[in-house]
Amino acid sequence: MAMTDTALTPYRSRVDAARRMRLTGSRPAVYWMTGLSGAGKSTVASLAEKMLIDAGHAAVMLDGDTVRTGLCRGLGFSPEDRHENLRRIAECAKLLALSGQIVIVCAISPTAESRRQAREIVSPAAAFSEVYVKADVEVCAARDPKGLYKKAFAGEIENFTGVSAPYEEPEAPDLILDTAKNSAEACAGMLADRALFVNRGGERLLSVLLRAAREASDAILGYYSTGAGVREKEDRSPLTDADLASDKILSAALTEAFPEYAILSEEEADDGERLTNRAGVFIVDPLDGTKEFLSHNGEFCVSVGFAEGGRVRAGVVAVPAQSVFYYAMEKTGAYKLPFSDLGEDFRIGDGKRLAVSERTEDLIVAVSRSHPDETTKTFLEANREKIAGVVTAGSCLKGCLIAEGKADFHLRVGAFTKEWDTAGMQIVCEEAGAIFTDAYGDELVANRPDPVNRRGFRIANRRGTLEGLILPPPGPEPEKK
């Protein structure tokens, strides 16, 4: 009796996608590159693969010609063999994605049906994107990297796509890379940027952050109007019931939506797991500006940053008393959005786009309301001829003021702040055009073993502003306590 497919039982892995992502740092995804021979699929794919690897992600290129020398050896170019070739490539891409990798497939895939089949095979395991590498027959023939068009036009090759066999141009691809108008490097950058955007959760990540911050803001305002119990932490800073309620809401929402990411929160013990999680970490301040909250001046925030690879990549700062968000994601801009305008169909770009001011003279300097220090006073005195005014604000609102052009500079020297104080506003400032570093101009690395900003931080609206200021000289790095 012959064995049939009904006797086969696929064995389910005991490792889920979230656990693999913590190890590889990559969300399973397949980018299916379709286009004529010579359009540049393999060239672009190999460049994008390297960009993703250089960025610290697990990525692999699956080239159609390479697969035909092994897995699909023996298959010809009849419609039936081409169908089987693409089916095998799709199944292979699915397995690679299940291992926790970003997969870039290069296959002509001449028909809409062949691409639909690939999407159908891959989609249960990973995000699938159809990428059209666009270049017409004339452009591809002029390149003719393999000498195939010359033979096809001479009738020496039968069923050659674009010459003697049809190519069905994608009607609604997820991404178009026009290699006739853009360099291979530029197209690879577009593909890598999209892959990184998808890898970090893209609009879903920001949507979850915004909704969680809104819910946390509502909880905080409940205590704001009725009063909150206050206790003192080890560092003698205040801790309120509002801090704890906000932290509980944020932690639950972020863990449920993104179990693959770690959380570093001001109000939770740091177990160090975040340092080995290559997928990323949420850096959370449930109530930034507790003293402002207790003073009832409205200058307090909910701040959440998302960091990956040592950099903050996305962030949300919610201002409960103003019912407004500041939000940003790397390479997509920074925006200000009223709570009331957060719809179910949120898209990055909703709200008012933020941009820093163009001032390099007559500067507006943002200073801390609750934490004045001698360095700031000395700085203001040394630069009084360039400073037109000072604006006082609490919490990370100082950074938000710079992001929307209402202030131009802020300086904080010394180990007074932690990562959760700066992460959310850092990406908002940077995406609005600001320069955000430690107090002496070095990169402010995210998700460090020691979360204290021991060298402080500074924010400038533009480089010309920094060049014209007298800044405090670097001092000894404050010791860990």
Active site residues: 109
Q: What is the distance, to the nearest Å, from the Cα of residue 449 to the centroid of all Cα atoms in its chain?
A: 21
Contact 243, 285 (CB under 8 A): no
Q: How far apart are CA 392 and CA 160, in angstroms?
A: 70
Give the β-pairing of 435-437 and 281-288. unpaired
CB atoms within 10 A of CB 216: 26
Contact 367, 355 (CB under 8 A): no
Q: What is the distance, to the nearest Å, from the Cα of residue 319 to the centroid of all Cα atoms in its chain?
A: 22
Helix, strand or coil, per DSSP, at residue 11: coil
| E-strand stretches of 309-430 | 311-319, 324-329, 333-338, 352-353, 363-368, 387-393, 409-412
Q: Which amino acid is at 185?
A: E
Rg, Å, the chain Cα set? 27
Q: What angle do CA 185, 188, 189 make, to 5 degrees?
A: 85
Q: What is the distance, to the nearest Å, from the Cα of residue 434 to the centroid of all Cα atoms in its chain?
A: 18
Contact 212, 204 (CB under 8 A): no
- Name which of 279, 281, 284, 314 is nearest 302 in CA terms: 284
- Name which of 247, 253, 322, 335 is nearest 292 in CA terms: 322
Q: How far apart are CA 124 and CA 126, in angstroms?
A: 6
Q: Which amino acid is at 176?
A: I
Contact 261, 254 (CB under 8 A): yes
Site of tokens 């939506």? 257
